[in-house]
């Protein structure tokens, strides 16, 4: 009986000492990214905090254009910290391009070339017309983009 008590105490001690994961307090953020009304898949949505001490959050859109954010240091798919953000959206097309060799006996190589699909205004926090405010609770923030880069 004594050895079972010792084993029980060891288990309770070890369980109490196991590392606990603590995440930032975040609020659920989800929305739909569209380009002239058509959902965009595989777009990287990034919420960049307006305040210098803020925390960025990002997520990729699925085939229906739906994205969910994860804050840096936050629990996956659980959102962003409350506050004001500038939003950037980036989607690229990747093509493999053959590059001829500079030497006659070497074969050509393939290089991945990325081409932005969206207007350049959406790629940079300084030029993005997209703004968002994350509040307590569930946040649905749709991002309707246009081909000319306006909101």
On whether the CB atoms of residues 31 and 67 are closer than 8 A, the answer is yes
For residue 121, what is the domain's CATH number? Answer: 2.60.40.10
The SS3 assignment for 10 reads: helix
Q: What is the DSSP letter of 27?
A: B
Establish if 8 belongs to a structural domain.
no
pLDDT per position as a tens digit, 85-117: 999 999 988 888 888 877 878 888 888 888 888
Determine contact, residues 23/132, Cβ cutoff 8 Å. Answer: no
Asked if residue 79 belongs to a domain, the reply is yes
Question: How many whole angstroms separate alpha carbon 149 and alpha carbon 146?
Answer: 5
Residue 18 lies in a domain: no
Q: What is the pLDDT, as a whole number, of residue 125?
A: 94
> Has residue 150 been placed in a domain?
no
Judge whether 17 lies within some domain: no
- Supply the range of the domain harboring residue 28: 23-145
Q: What is the pTM of this model?
A: 0.76
**Position 7 in a domain:** no
Structural domains counted in the chain: 1
Length of the chain: 151
Give a yes or no: residue 27 inside a domain: yes
Kindly tell me if the per-residue pLDDT of 8 is higher than 50.
no
Q: 121-142, pLDDT tens digit by residue?
A: 999 999 999 999 999 999 999 9
Residue 82 CA to residue 51 CA, distance in Å, equals: 11
| Rounded Cα distance, 27 and 60, in Å | 17
Q: How far from 125 is each of 35, 74, 92, 100, 118, CA to CA, in Å?
A: 18, 21, 17, 37, 14
pLDDT at 24: 77
* Residue 13 lies inside a defined structural domain of this protein: no
């Amino acid at each position: 009986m004594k050895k079972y008590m010792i084993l029980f105490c060891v288990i309770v001690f070890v369980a109490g000492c196991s590392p606990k994961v603590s995440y930032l307090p975040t609020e659920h953020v989800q929305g739909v990214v569209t380009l002239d009304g058509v959902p965009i898949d595989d777009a990287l949505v990034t919420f960049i905090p307006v305040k210098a001490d803020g925390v960025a959050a990002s997520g990729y859109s699925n085939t229906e254009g739906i994205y969910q954010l994860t804050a840096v240091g936050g629990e996956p798919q659980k959102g962003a910290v409350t506050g004001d953000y500038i939003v950037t959206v980036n989607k690229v097309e990747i093509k493999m391009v053959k590059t001829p060799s500079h030497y006659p006996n070497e074969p050509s190589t393939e290089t991945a070339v990325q081409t932005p699909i969206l207007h350049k205004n959406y790629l940079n926090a300084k030029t993005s017309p997209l703004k968002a405010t994350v509040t307590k609770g569930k946040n649905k923030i749709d991002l309707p983009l246009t081909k000319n880069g306006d909101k």
